[in-house]
Amino acid sequence: MINKIIWIIGIVWIGNIQNGVQAQRRNFIHPGITYTQGDLDRMKAMVKAKHEPYYSTFLKLKESPYSSLNTQVINRGKQIREGRFNATIGVDGRRAHDLALLWHLTGDEAYARKAVEYLNANSYYTNTSSRGTGPLDNGKIYLLIDAAELMRDYSGWKVEDQQRFKNMLVYPGYSNTEDFSSKYANYWDDSKNGVTFYWNIFNFDAARFGNQGLFAARGMMAMGIYLDNEVMYDRAYRYLLGMKHRPDDLPYPSGPTVTSKEPIKKSPTMLDYKLEGRENKISDYGYDEQLQYYIYPNGQCQESSRDQGHVLAGIHQGKRTS
């Protein structure tokens, strides 16, 4: 039964994304990403009518510590070190998102002002760690971007502050012809790193389990919508579909991989090999986060040999991108 459910999710996921492939040109509608204006209007109507279970859920949202108007906002500075993403953009992203949503649902500007405080406090980054699980960690920026998308038309968020937030996402700048990651990222020493979110997710994760690249893809698609950047948006969903990169964009990682001859770890459900390098024989090679590899024909997820938490995280990120 579980296999059937996962397989159905995979079909829906693939179908939703492929529907967009036919489009010649996208005109992004705002608000977008997770919520459309129709979604917000429907939620607001449910709350006003006190319709269950929506009204009780709304009350839980208001009572959540993440929605508190009294929490002191911390200016996060210019750097996020390895291992500090959940404690910075993770928690602040959740707070900004929930507050922005409450503003739309209640019209109470106190929520809007507080959401903007969190967005501004996280708008000065010039160095977000590329070490370790960089694509996964930096992909978590989607929560802050979701909040920014909800607040984009709020008059209390100054134009210059919004522009600083946008610039921060792609520091030291966006390019579809030059790889700034190869020039400015440092994968060994955080103090010498010189890139932020986009340049840590633009190649997804060709070295680890698929959920990590899916976090990167979700962050990239959110970023593309928020910045009205079709090339950026296409980079994520073309890759997920196993398509070649756009001719006006940078290529995807090549392959195949070079791995150890013998597994470094063995379990009843998995053989784990060490990644030793990557060949350049096939351009736009495609790795575990692509749909064709992440959901097997038998309905199993590529990470089913691990634990249910990683399976659910990966499938959730994949479904949200659709």
CA torsion angle for 16, 21, 23, 24 (degrees, to 10)?
160
Confidence of residue 322 (pLDDT cuts 50, 70, 90): low
pLDDT tens per residue, range 290-314: 889 888 888 888 888 887 777 787 7
pLDDT of residue 311: 78
Q: How confident is the model at residue 22 (pLDDT cuts 50, 70, 90)?
A: very low
Q: Is the pLDDT of residue 5 over 50?
A: no
Q: How many CA atoms lie within 13 A of 193 on its CB side?
A: 27
β-strand partners of 191: none
Give the per-residue pLDDT at 13: 53
Q: What is the mean pLDDT of residues 71-76?
A: 98
Dihedral (C-alpha) 185, 186, 189, 193: value to the nearest 10 degrees?
-20
- Answer yes or no: is pLDDT of 15 > 70: no
- Residue 79's pLDDT band, with cuts at 50, 70 and 90, is very high
Please name the amino acid found at residue 267. Answer: S
pLDDT of residue 1: 44
Instruction: Indicate the pLDDT class of residue 24, thresholds 50, 70 and 90.
Output: low
Distances (CA, A) of 126 to 77, 105, 143, 152, 160: 9, 33, 19, 22, 17
The angle that helices 308-321 and 2-19 make with each other, rounded to 10 degrees, is: 30
Contact 115, 147 (CB under 8 A): yes
CA angle 293, 296, 301 (to 5 degrees): 85
> pTM, whole model, 2 decimals?
0.90
Contacts of 213 (CB under 8 A, 6+ apart): 135, 204, 205, 206, 287, 288, 289
3-class DSSP assignment, residue 30: coil
Q: Which two tokens stand for residue 291?
A: 């749909």
Residue 7 pLDDT > 70: no
Token digits of residue 228? 């009205």
In the predicted structure, residue 74 carries a pLDDT above the cut 80:
yes
pLDDT in tens, 194-212: 999 999 999 999 888 888 8
The rounded mean pLDDT for the chain is: 91
Instruction: Please check the confidence at residue 138 and state whether its pLDDT lies above 80.
Output: yes
pLDDT of 93 > 80? The answer is yes
Position 168 scores a pLDDT of 99
Q: What is the pLDDT of residue 151?
A: 99
Residue 8 has pLDDT above 50, yes or no: no
pLDDT tens for residues 205-256? Answer: 988 888 889 999 999 999 999 999 999 999 999 999 999 999 999 999 999 9
- Above pLDDT 70, what percent of the chain? 92
Q: What would the pLDDT profile of 146-179 be if each residue is shown by its tens digit?
A: 999 999 999 999 999 999 999 999 999 999 999 9
Residue 321: pLDDT band (50, 70, 90) is: confident
Strand ranges, E, within the chain: 79-80, 127-128, 255-259, 265-267, 270-272, 275-282
Is the per-residue pLDDT at 12 higher than 70?
no
